[in-house]
Amino acid sequence: MARFLKKNKASLHRSPGSVVFVGSQKMDQARVTVMDYDHGNLRELELQDLAEGGRFKKTDTATWINVDGVHDTDLIMEIGRSFELHPLILEDIVHTGQRPKVEEYDDCIFLVVKMLRFDQDQEQVVGEQLSMVLGPNFLLTFQEQPGDTFEPVRERIRRQKGRIRGAGIDYLAYALLDTVVDNYIFIIEQLGEKVEELEEEVLLGPSQAVLAKIIRYKREMNYIRKSVRPFRELTQQLSFLDSELISDKTDPFLKDMQGLALQSVEIVDTYREMLFDYLNIYNTGVSNKLNEIMKVLTIFSAIFIPLTFIAGVYGTNFEYFPELHYKYSYFVFWAVLLLVAVVMIRFFKRRGWL
């Protein structure tokens, strides 16, 4: 499946709001976990009966329900019925090729972002769609597969670190988004180290291996850019969003996250420019190498032109040739050829052509 665009044949000719999974299935069975907490209490459980999920909608506590496995459309629709989600939200959740965005509905805010990780073995950035539904006292998150990206946030909730247990559910949404953008910067730094190490290889001389690395890193940076630039737009929209679901106390944190998103975009653009410069250096090196080859070939051609002329004249089949019967004419002939070659080489060196 294409990395930059997900095939959408399954949802063709269907009405808007149709819940049709688009993407690749990354786990066998979906899983639903719940963290229900307030300042003094915490409940953590895994839901077996989805009917239980709906009761968390009207509690006074903050509830974070995380779904791993958006391929299970029946599960997604059941959650949608329990929390009365708009059909367009459900459609976007199961379509894993969504562009990062934020949409405001009457009773919730819907967000789509891309989570990234760097595969060291393949030297490839792997993306996963994260969908979030922020309600008055609940947060629904939908991931394509289980991962430990949000484990630090879970630990903060368990150990009551920071303000997360005392703040509202909107602060939890911010904490998750902040983790996503921090991960962006971490991955960009990982790939950036490899880009900076490539500079020495480029300067040593052009090779097919160096060209392959430049092209591969350019492709990965473009893939990252496809996620971080819309994320920056998303943070800007959140900062200006006039919604009761986002408290004034959370606004400064959203503005700080906006700065991190801008920083990640700037870093990506910097490395993309570096790779573009590397490619120019590579092409210049190839051109210089080709010029050196042509220079040597031209000099050899210039040397052999007079030698060929002399050999052609001397080798003609004249009946009367002055030196034809001279005993040492063959050696004189070679002496003349060598003399002409040496004189031309010294002339080229004096002119700086060699």
Same domain, residue pair 309 and 257: no
Beta-bridge partners for 95: 22
- Domain final position from 234, 268, 284: 284
Same domain, residue pair 248 and 342: no
**Mean pLDDT value of segment 167-181:** 94
CB atoms within 10 A of CB 237: 15
Same domain, residue pair 215 and 310: no
Question: Does some domain include residue 191?
Answer: yes
Same domain, residue pair 264 and 296: no
Number of domains in the chain: 2
Give helix then strand counts, H and E, for the chain: 7, 7
Q: Which long-range contacts (CB under 8 A, 24 or more apart) does 255-260 make?
A: 257/174, 257/177, 257/178, 257/181, 258/232, 260/178, 260/181, 260/182, 260/185
CATH number, domain with residue 127: 3.30.460.20
User: What is the C-alpha to C-alpha distance for residues 84 and 70, in angstroms, rounded to an integer?
Assistant: 18
Please give the backbone phi and psi of residue 114, each rounded to the nearest 5 degrees, phi first: -110, 125
**Mean pLDDT value of segment 19-41:** 88
Nearest to 6 by CA among 87, 94, 68, 80: 94
- Predicted local confidence at residue 320, as pLDDT: 62
Same domain, residue pair 183 and 329: no
User: Is residue 66's pLDDT more than 90?
Assistant: yes
Same domain, residue pair 273 and 312: no
Nearest to 173 by CA among 213, 126, 137, 209: 137
Q: Is 198 exposed, middle or buried (0-12, 13-18, 19+ CB in 10 A)?
A: middle
Question: Does some domain include residue 106?
Answer: yes
- Domain final position from 284, 304, 332: 284
**pLDDT tens column, 70-86:** 999 999 999 998 888 99
CATH number, domain with residue 317: 1.20.58.340
**pLDDT tens column, 333-346:** 788 888 888 888 88
Question: Does some domain include residue 182?
Answer: yes
Same domain, residue pair 84 and 176: yes
C-alpha dist (Å) from residue 276 to 264, 273, 334: 18, 5, 54
Question: Does some domain include residue 4?
Answer: no
C-alpha dist (Å) from residue 209 to 199, 201, 279: 13, 10, 13
Same domain, residue pair 211 and 132: yes
**pLDDT tens column, 269-321:** 999 999 999 999 988 888 888 887 787 778 778 777 887 877 777 676 666 66
**Range(s) of the domain holding residue 332:** 291-350
Same domain, residue pair 276 and 323: no
Asked if 111 and 234 count as a contact pair (C-beta separation under 8 A), the reply is yes
- Domain final position from 284, 302, 334: 284
Asked if 110 and 89 count as a contact pair (C-beta separation under 8 A), the reply is yes
Same domain, residue pair 157 and 237: yes
Q: Is 77 exposed, middle or buried (0-12, 13-18, 19+ CB in 10 A)?
A: middle
- CA 243, 116, 125: angle at the middle one, nearest 5? 150
Contacts of 254 (CB under 8 A, 6+ apart): 174, 235, 238, 239, 246
User: Which tokens belong to 202?
Assistant: 């480029």
Question: Does some domain include residue 8?
Answer: no
Question: Does some domain include residue 81?
Answer: yes
User: Is residue 351's pLDDT more than 60?
Assistant: yes
Same domain, residue pair 175 and 313: no
C-alpha dist (Å) from residue 57 to 38, 92, 108, 138, 290: 14, 21, 12, 6, 70
Question: Does some domain include residue 5?
Answer: no
User: Is residue 163's pLDDT more than 80?
Assistant: yes
Collapsing DSSP to helix, strand or coil, 267 comes out as helix
Same domain, residue pair 233 and 330: no
Q: pTM for the full model?
A: 0.80
